[in-house]
Amino acid sequence: MIQRQMVTEDDRWFAVRLSQASSVHSLTCQAVIEVNWEGQWIHGIEIFMPSFNLSRAIQWLQPVPPGTCHAPGCVTYDPEGDAAYLYLLQTDQSKSPDSERLVIAGSHELKAEWRLGQDGSLIEIAVPKSQAPTGSGRFTGLLHSDPFDTLPGP
């Protein structure tokens, strides 16, 4: 379960940080994100890592079987496909009942980077800006962001 997340960006990446722990190595993986009609990242990210023990990296997030939870903060894991879906936290503006901001306009397949801690746990997910359908700030505008010091510790 994702309880806190911090959204960051630099010259090359949009990133969602899940922990204060330091990342010590990274892996490139296939990912699918959903975007709304404005090209903003909504709902979460699906990750496929066939040559890596994905279940170990997300174990600390207490994943559940697919189809059992779709709420923001949920993490699902499918052992047969070795795939995970992280339902990211959304901003308050995206939660209004009449909001169409969370209506899916399409899926966007890309190569994401998983940044892992010393113990192999997922610390951060990064999406290259070059693969984002919209520009700086707008792409992650509907994702909730907490201050770094409120994230879970190492």
The pLDDT profile of the chain, 154 residues, written as one tens digit per residue, is 999 999 998 889 999 999 999 999 999 988 999 888 888 888 889 998 777 788 999 999 999 999 999 889 999 999 988 899 999 998 876 555 556 666 777 888 889 999 999 999 999 999 998 888 766 567 888 888 999 888 987 6
**Considering its fold, how many domains does the chain have in total?**
1
pTM of the model: 0.87
Token pair for 52: 């890596």
Identify whether 133 is part of a domain. no
> Quick one: the chain helix, strand, coil %, rounded to 5?
10, 40, 50
Identify whether 134 is part of a domain. no
For 128-151, letters b (16+ CB in 10 Å) and e give eeeebbeeeeebbbbbbeeeeeeb
Identify whether 135 is part of a domain. no
| pLDDT of 113 | 92
Please name the amino acid found at residue 33. I
| pLDDT of 74 | 94
Edge-to-edge strand list for the sheet holding 6-9: 6-9, 13-17, 122-128, 106-116, 25-35, 41-48, 83-87, 75-78
Identify whether 96 is part of a domain. yes
Q: Which residues lie below 8 Å from residue 37, measured CB to CB, with a gap of 6+?
A: 100, 103, 105
Q: Single out the residue of 93, 94, 64 nearest to residue 79, CA to CA.
A: 64
Report the 10 Å Cβ neighbour count for 21: 21
CA 97 – CA 20 distance, rounded (Å): 33
Is 94 within 8 Å of 101 (Cβ atoms)? yes
Identify whether 20 is part of a domain. yes
Identify whether 144 is part of a domain. no
Write out the residue range of the structural domain in which residue 59 sits: 6-125
Q: What is the DSSP letter of 20?
A: S
